[in-house]
Chain A
Amino acid sequence: MGLSNPATENRADEVTTVSSISPNWVTTRLDFLTNWARANSLWPMPFGTACCAIEYMATAASRFDIARFGMERQSFSPRQADVLICAGRLPFKLAPVIRRIWDQMPQPKWSISMGACASSGGIFDNYSMVQGIDTIIPVDVYVPGCPPRPEGLMYGIMLLQKKIKGETIADDMLREEKLVGPSGLFLPAERVDELSEPFGNSVHQTRSA
């Protein structure tokens, strides 16, 4: 075809693999159709653990109404869900729970990290809290805020839709399951430590061992 693959082109950090399917008229039209359908019928799996869940409920209720974005059905079963919305802080005790829910969700699946605590641990830089759910599951969209207003979450949802509309079946890596590896982590240990680095005033806290 003589065209470069847009999905694998700008990935300097990954090994470039020659895709078995090259983008052509058929695949791009198919991409357009499937992505349009997927982006506009995202069924959310609400994983509400804290005050962000209240804002999430407000987003789902009549005034803001995420049904307008095709999220009519709140999927309280991971088996029928497309997007995991972690609304609130995630304690270590819930880490295996959200990991299992993520593993139970069928492809294609995406996740939104809603709020400061889910994205970075927020104010809870302590012994019991996961410092960002991206150390547990892969995250597509981070929504900042404490908690984010419904407009913020809706903007995050629209960003996710935009991301979905840019996906292509020519990307071999797209639907790869990122599982917990033999090390017991899904990211390298150094990466987890790096992502969990303290910030703000909490840098003065020291670890004893």
Chain B
Amino acid sequence: MTSPSIPGLRAEFGPAVERVLVSCGDTIVYVTRDRSHDVLAWLKDAPGHQFNYLTDVTAVEYRDSELPLEVVYQLRSLSRKADIRVKVALDKRAPLQVRSVVDLWRGADWLEREVYDLFGITFTGHPDLRRILMWETYAEGYPLRKDFPLRGHFSRAEQTRQALAANPEAHYSLEELSIAEAFDELPPDMRQRLARGERGYLK
């Protein structure tokens, strides 16, 4: 059975809702990339829907290289105890970009960073889009993409050399905790160091 939110979605967004299907009892809605933020904002706030909890943001790449990459939003309404899955298909020939939903759900911050880290999808409007699992100077690409070899692109010696050259404090400094909101107020030299992937020390 499709989710009761679907008629409302179709009425509101019309052709932006590309496809609706039910898989294992879960409703999946494909929406266009241009309207994805509007659809998600509507699903979050519209009375009677209120999908106020973002369970997960992830992405899927299929083995068939012709198929588009999909960004998946799993939503839940805590008050109505209902779920819906929203997917945005991204053509691989175009830049992989989709609008960030951090302004809707703060919890999307690290989820989108993870998708960016492993799939290379850019979330426009994200306040602090940088790698989260791999270190910031990681240069081999995006590990969960199908064209990424299991062992990575570089030789083991090169990987080991780059890993040993990484600065462990860079990931876990106190700066990390407040950097996203304070970025604009940082002195220019510190901003440059951050742009180069160095985290630096608190003075």
Compute how far the CA of A189 lies from the CA of B158 in the bound complex, rounded to whole angstroms: 8
Is B163 within 8 A of A130, CB to CB? yes
Q: Is the CB of B151 within 8 A of A127?
A: yes
Binds B, one of A36-44, A62-70, A88-96: A88-96
User: How near does chain B come to A161, taking the closest CB pair, in angstroms?
Assistant: 30
B173 within 8 Å of A (CB atoms) = no
- Interface residue? A192 (CB, 8 A): yes
Q: How far is the CA of A177 from the CA of B143 in the complex (A)?
A: 35
Residues of B within 8 A of A130 (CB): 160, 163
Contact B153 A209 (CB under 8 A): yes
Q: Are the C-beta atoms of A96 and B161 separated by less than 8 Å? A: no
Q: Are B149 and A206 in contact, with the CB atoms below 8 A?
A: yes
Q: Is A126 an interface residue (CB 8 A)?
A: yes
**Which residues on the B side are within 8 Å of A206 (C-beta)?**
149
Interface size class of B (residues with CB under 8 A): 20 to 34
B135 touches A192 (CB 8 A): no
Q: Does A151 contact B (CB under 8 A)?
A: no
Q: Closest chain A residue to B153 by CB distance?
A: A209
Is B9's CB within 8 Å of the partner chain A?
no
- Taking a contact as CB atoms under 8 Å apart, the answer to whether B151 and A125 are in contact is yes
Size category, A interface: 20 to 34
Please report the C-alpha to C-alpha distance between residue A103 and residue B179 in the assembled complex, in whole angstroms.
30
Chain B residues, CB < 8 A from A127: 140, 143, 148-152, 159
Nearest residue in A to B161 (C-beta to C-beta)?
Answer: A184
From the candidates A96, A198, A207, name the one contacting B167 in the complex (CB within 8 A): A96
Contact A205 B151 (CB under 8 A): yes
B127 close to chain A: CB less than 8 A: no
Whole-angstrom distance from the CB of B46 to the nearest CB of chain A?
Answer: 41
Question: Chain B 155-170, CB within 8 Å of chain A: the 1/0 string?
Answer: 1111111111111100
Q: Does B134 contact A (CB under 8 A)?
A: yes
12 A-B pairs in the complex with CB atoms less than 8 angstroms apart:
A93-B135, A95-B160, A96-B165, A97-B168, A128-B134, A180-B164, A184-B162, A184-B164, A190-B157, A207-B149, A208-B153, A209-B154
Chain A residues close to B by CB (< 8 Å): 92-93, 95-97, 99-100, 125-128, 130-131, 135-136, 180, 183-186, 189-190, 192-193, 195-196, 198, 205-209
4 smallest A-B Cβ distances: which pairs? A127-B152, A196-B156, A189-B157, A92-B163
